[in-house]
Amino acid sequence: MAFRRSAQTLVTKKKCIPELARKYPWTRPQGDETGISIYNFYTRSKLPLILSTEGNLKWYVCGPTVYGEPHVGHACSFVRFDVIRRILMNVFDINVVFMMNFTNVDDKIIDKAKKVGQTTEQVSSHYESTFLKNMQQLNVLRPTIVHRVSDNVQNVIEFIERLVESGHAYVTGQGSVFFHCDSYEGYGNLSRMKVLPSEKTMFDDQKRKPQDFLLWKPHKVGEPFWDSPWGQGRPGWHIGCSALASKVFGGKIDIHCGGGDLKFPHHENELAQSNCYHHTNQWVNYWIHSGLVRREGDSEKMSKSRGNIITIPELLEKYTSNQFRMFCLLRPYAMEVEYGENAMKKPVQILNKLTSHRAVAQSYIHGEGPSVDVSNDVLMQHLASTQKVVRSALADNFDTQQMMSALMSLVQVCNRELSKPSNKNVIRAREVYSVAAITSYIDKLMSQLGFNLISKLESHADSANSSQSLEDIINSVTHFRERVRSFALGGDAANATDEEKSLIRVHRDSHSALLDSTDQLRDKLAATAGIIIKDAEEGPSTWHMIEKTSDRPSARE
Ligand SMILES: [Zn+2]
């Protein structure tokens, strides 16, 4: 499976036609104001998101053509849409109906089936399950509704029939049906492009205009087919999305999305045929697209045909789904991105900062470590302003980049308070509520966006005694190591007399092997289990867990 060829490779000549875009201007929908602004590709501007049905959002995404392994390009697109979906659902409390199709009847699937000696059904169902499994590994929510083209051919036929009856499509002597682009003045309104394909397909001899596109292909030996009023054949690519989305949502969709390479011709064609079918000029209120992905150093987008893909199991061999989700969040969703080791450094770093902050904050909340007098007023004020900034960033075209920068600034302020010099004179109970409020807010927000930052120990604490036992074991190991280390160090050299210092030095020299062993144990636990032990100048050593390769389920599961 892959995104379709980009418009650039299909187009030999393209005309920029902004005048058409003015012909059918965007009409402000009647309905439910959400307070969110969203970039609409149709108008090339940010607009208020207004739902056609109160509290509910109808969202259609073009699913993959299932003929190959999904890759990082798909992962990025679907994680980005998943984040937006979760923001709408979890932050703004909108009920989202998210529909996706599988294009499981297509030239590429037929070619693949011939190549590997399988049926088209075997090929498409294999890659369909691979796609769903990979999305689950990336913690992408399942669509509310999934449809396959092959299960809905009657809907497709009915859709085409109506287009033929109304003069928007015509049947050729060979049994092909084409959309008649000249019959619809708005053709080109969305992408502001019209195309003159250089290559003629084998069925296009009777096309009236080069930009006319196939709705129905006549049967060829060895290909799947269905009976139709125009003879045996199968649906073209674009018509599947229109017919399936209309079956579920009727004549209006709030958001329609897809990869950036679908703008032309796919979305242009979808829009043209659907506007004609539904007698409207605005089948979709908002069109959004995810920016394409390039490998670091590559000038072209990642695609199967270019042979430069990284599959999702390959991605998850190196990084966790949390780390990849953070990568997707740190750039605007419509922006083209580079994926590679350099690009992944920052997301990995940010997640480590978040988990390490969480551990320090948890220790403080539970009364461990030195006594620090944090300023609850400062922290609560900073939390309140962060909450406002985060909400308005997310309401501004889902600006997750700005949201993360506000969140990390909150973490920084909280860390600064927690690392104040300890005050031995503070014997009153610590007021921990501001640190607890910050931890709780970060946990909630990150989980709303589809992250799982709660360690395995915590997430299983209620359901399994084994995690409690594991925690007890790590506590015991940390405590034992701390006692050995303390013995090997032999005393507090900072406050010792000169004579005591020389005794301590002799003591440490004779126990250097013990000190080395405690360091080795610390490094090994960090490298193999992601357990980070921190030795304090005073008070007990603490530990926390960070994400490690070995700490996540195998990508091959
Ligand atoms: Zn589509």
CATH, residue 401: 1.10.730
Q: Is the dihedral of CA 143, 458, 547, 83 positive or negative?
A: positive
Which of 514, 511, 505 minimizes the C-alpha distance to 480?
Answer: 514
If you measure from the C-alpha of residue 393 to the centroid of ligand 1, how many angstroms do you get, rounded to a whole number? Answer: 29
Centre of ligand 1 to C-alpha 4, Å, is 10
The verdict on 384 and 299 lying in the same domain is: no
What are the structure tokens assigned to 195, written together?
């195309």
The whole-number pLDDT of residue 368 equals 78
Same domain, 213 and 278: yes
Residues 314 and 410 in one domain: no
* Contact of 58 with 118, CB cutoff 8 Å: no
Using DSSP's 3-state secondary structure scheme, residue 255 falls into: strand
Cβ-based burial of 249 (10 A; exposed 0-12, middle 13-18, buried ≥19) = buried
User: Is 544:532 a contact under the CB 8 Å cutoff?
Assistant: yes
Question: Is 27 part of any domain?
Answer: no
Q: Domain ends where: 339, 358, 386?
A: 339
* Same domain as 411, residue 271: no
Query: Residue 68, CB half-sphere, CA atoms under 13 Å: how many?
Result: 20
Give distance in angstroms: CA of 138 to centre of ligand 1. 22
Q: Are residues 292 and 235 in the same domain?
A: yes
Q: Confirm whether 1 is domain-assigned.
A: no
Measured CA distances, 130 to 99, 237, 273 (Å): 18, 21, 31
Q: Is 352 helix (H, G, I), strand (E, B) or coil?
A: helix
pLDDT for 532 equals 85
Number of domains making up the chain: 3
Q: What is the pLDDT of residue 152?
A: 96
Regarding whether 157 and 77 lie in a shared domain, the answer is yes
- CA 237 to centroid of ligand 1, rounded, Å: 8
The pLDDT assigned to 301 comes to: 79
Of 270, 304, 339, the position where a domain reaches its end is 339
Confidence (pLDDT) at 469: 66
- Compute, in angstroms, the gap from residue 61 CA to the centroid of ligand 1: 7
Distance in Å, CA 119 to ligand 1 centroid = 24
Looking at the fold, whether 391 and 313 belong to one and the same domain comes out as no
> What domain range is 189 assigned to?
7-21+34-339
**Taking a C-beta distance cutoff of 8 angstroms, is the pair 7, 193 a contact?**
yes
pLDDT at 455: 58
pLDDT of residue 10: 35
pLDDT of res. 513: 85
The amino acid that residue 251 corresponds to is: G
The CATH number for 232's domain is 3.40.50.620
Q: Would you state the pLDDT for residue 487?
A: 82
Cα(34) to ligand 1 centroid in Å equals 26
Q: Does residue 2 lie within any of the structural domains? A: no
Q: Is the same domain home to 324 and 365?
A: no
Question: Is 271 among the domain residues?
Answer: yes
What gap in Å lies between CA 85 and CA 156, rounded to an integer?
28
Provide the H-helix boundaries in 151-249: 153-165, 237-249
Tell whether 29 is covered by a domain: no
Q: Could you tell me if 362 and 500 lie in one domain?
A: no
Q: What is the mean pLDDT of each run of 10 residues along the chain (557 residues)?
A: 38 46 82 97 97 96 94 97 98 98 93 93 96 97 97 97 97 94 93 65 67 94 94 96 97 97 95 97 97 89 81 96 97 96 97 93 83 89 98 98 98 93 64 92 97 63 56 81 83 73 80 86 82 78 70 41
Q: What's at 154, amino acid-wise?
A: Q
Q: 360 with 441, same domain?
A: yes
